[in-house]
Amino acid sequence: MTVREIRLFGDPVLKTVSDPIVNFDDKAKSLIQDLIDTTQLPGRAGVAAPQIGVNLRAFSYNVDGVVGYLINPTLIEVSGQKLLVDEGCLSVPGLWHKTPRYEFAKAVGLDLDGNTVEIEGSGLMAQALQHECDHLDGLVYLDRLEDDERREAMKNLRATDWFMK
């Protein structure tokens, strides 16, 4: 079991659009296993490859006891109301803010055999799919906040003991 260190806000890899995985080799298998291992720690709903310092399009999730992964995912549907939900991020530890997220999300990607996989859900699964796909596009949840909430978040961020000032 390899639990990888989580990169923190301010690390350039978190603001970089990730490259697709093109070779489904041992290196890809190792990355997916590391993502799954890292996600399975208590309190974690998902981990994207950039969060462990790898600029590739993959993430793992652990929602309601269901653990899995997607390679080269694309959100193909978001629907329902856009709600303000309490959201945090392993790369922004200790901060939770009201983040606009759709009630339902569906993503399509690949498994390690190159087969198409579709994942959908509402509630926490919808939030996780949106959150992790954002990471692969160089976004953190702070980028999604409404203006007043974002100002408060940045103030809170500067007050943390881990943020590089």
Point out the residues that are catalytic: 132
Residues 145, 97: contact at Cβ < 8 Å?
yes
Q: Give the helix/strand (H/E) hosting 38.
A: helix 26-39
Q: CB neighbours of 59 closer than 8 A, spacing ≥ 6?
A: 35, 46, 47, 48, 49, 69, 70, 73, 132, 133, 135, 136
Burial class for 4, CB neighbours closer than 10 Å (0-12, 13-18, 19+): middle
